[in-house]
Amino acid sequence: MPHEITIPRLGWSMEEGVLGAWLKSPGETVRAGDPLFSLEGEKAAQEIEALDTGYLCIPPDAPRTGETVKVGQVVGFLLAAGEPAPTSVRPALPQAAPLMAPAPPGLAGRLPRAAGPAARRLARRLGIDLSAVPTPDPTGRVICEDVQRAAVQPVPTPSRAPRPIATPRARRRAKDLGVDWASLPGTGRDGRIRERDVVNRLPAPRPSAPPATTPASPGTHTPASKRRLVIAHRMVAGVTQAAPVTITTKVDAGPLVAFRDHLKQSANGAPPSYNDILIHLVARTLREQPQLNACWHRDGIYQYDGVHIALAVDTELGLLAPAVRDADQLSLDQVAARTRQLIADARADRLTQQHLEGATFTVTNLGTFGIDAFAPILSLPQAGILGVGRIVEEPVVRAGQVVAGRTLSLSLTFDHRVADGAAAARWLQAVCGRIAAL
């Protein structure tokens, strides 16, 4: 049976993407794990690996490069040696079965049988399943003699349905997502459940569209790019699908400025930025106080094992947020090196989908634009995002004296379903304490 090649879901809100180039030619041998085609997802293009082995078949009506494709759509097949090639990626229409069609061999004794009232009463009295009673009647009709013979002879019972089989990757993904994989239909060989069967079973949340409004005055309309639409949907979801609350505090930035000045003097190359230092402190705080390193999932709180900090990056193509993975286990210099590389890749449009997924918390900084404070929007399914303002020179009180100093505003938006206000306040207080201790 041909193995279908379908479009996977690359992001939690992805419903469609753009088909890129095929990386194998029709008729070429493909092995499981080989890069098969590229797919542009929500914010980046990614090479999609083959899940099966076979010869590539791309029917004439398959989607072409550059066309929009939906998650789960069939775009081709992998065939075994000598297997006939499908002529279409669309499912064949079922043909009407002929009237009074004979039962297939081996199934005649399992199909519902016609029986007279007397035979039915006798079967009920003897506890006999009519569908399992063999009969010599070519029409399949059961009579009383057939029921009596079945009462004294062992009746074959239908074999128990085999236990579903799932690949190790499917089992791990199902465990991570809290999905019962045993209840899923499999699309692999012999009904095997694959990772994409688990992922495709999850509904992709999409905010309901507000009613269209007519502009009040003449102007020019420019359709949004796919990336802009993704950003718009995510921003709306962060407000409508969560319970967002923003708390803001102002911290004495004197120790932070002094610490970076010290790094400038001792660094051989470019010193870590203020943002690098804050990401480093946020990651350590999330490790010690993990309440915000979580998300709301299936009417409960899902606690992440790793601490992966997304860094909001402004690019010509729109906002991107690549993740600094395992940030709590990195030194400050390692964090700085990671962020420099991610920012460069983001602005050169070199990020892949792996860079843009899996973050557990976000840090966004508008201080370089002269913004004092702002209320950032959650990036679901994350439960927290820290907004960083600019460092302002203003009077501060130290040891009871008003002196010239510097302050920094931090704004934490959190999902109130995951954490209460007091827990979020303690977390933000801990970050401020780490800044003061620099």
pLDDT at 374: 95
240 forms beta bridges with none
Residue 228 has which token pair?
């802009």
DSSP secondary structure code for residue 2 in this structure: P
Q: Are 149 and 119 in contact (CB under 8 A)?
A: no
pLDDT band at 184, cuts 50/70/90?
Answer: confident
**What token pair was written down for 64?**
């072409």
Q: Please, what are the domains in the chain? A: 3-88+161-201 (2.40.50.100), 115-152 (4.10.320), 226-436 (3.30.559.10)
| Under 8 Å between Cβ of 362 and 310 | yes
Mean pLDDT of the chain: 83
Check residues 153 and 101 and name the one with the higher pLDDT. 153
- Residue 391, classified by CB atoms within 10 Å of its CB into exposed (0-12), middle (13-18) or buried (19+), is middle
**pLDDT, tens digit, for every residue of 350-381?**
888 888 888 999 999 999 999 999 999 999 99
Say if residue 113's pLDDT is above 90. no
Question: What tokens does 170 get?
Answer: 């499917």
Which residue do the tokens 């979580």 mark? Answer: 294
CA distance 56 to 204: 29
**Dihedral over Cα of 150, 153, 154, 158: its sign:** negative
- Is the predicted pLDDT of residue 409 greater than 50, yes or no? yes
Q: Which residues contact 54 (CB under 8 A, 6 or more apart)?
A: 2, 3, 29, 30, 77, 78, 79, 80, 83
List the one residue out of 386, 77, 348 whose CA is nearest residue 246: 386
DSSP E strand stretches across 137-273: 244-252
Host H or E run for residue 250: strand 244-252
pLDDT at residue 105 above 50? no
d(CA 345, CA 322): 9
Helix (H, G, I), strand (E, B) or coil at 357: coil
Dump pLDDT digits (tens) for 185-219. 888 777 788 877 877 766 555 555 555 567 888 88
pLDDT in tens, 248-270: 999 999 999 999 999 998 878 88
Res. 7: pLDDT tops 60 = yes
